[in-house]
Amino acid sequence: MYIQKWKNWFLYFWLYAVIGWIYEVFLEVAVYHWGFSNRGFLFGPYCPVYGFGALLILFAFGSLRKKRLVLGSINIMPLIIFLGIVVLTTAVELLTSYLMEWTTGGWLWDYHSYPFQFQGRIALSPSVRFGIGGMVILYGLHPILEKLRKKLGEKLWGRISLILFILMMADFLWTVWHI
Torsion sign (Cα): 15, 81, 136, 89: negative
Question: Do strands 74-75 and 117-118 pair parallel, antiparallel, or not at all (unpaired)?
Answer: unpaired
What does the pLDDT look like over 2-48, one tens digit per residue?
A: 777 888 899 999 999 999 999 888 888 888 777 766 666 677 888 88
Q: Would you say 62 and 138 are in contact if contact means Cβ atoms under 8 Å apart?
A: yes
What does the pLDDT look like over 119-147, one tens digit per residue?
A: 999 999 999 999 999 999 999 999 999 99
Which range marks the domain in which residue 150 is found? 2-177
DSSP code of 122? E
What does the pLDDT look like over 90-102, one tens digit per residue?
A: 998 999 899 989 9
Predicted model pTM:
0.83
Exposure of 38 in the CB half-sphere (CA atoms within 13 A): 8
Structural domain count, the chain: 1
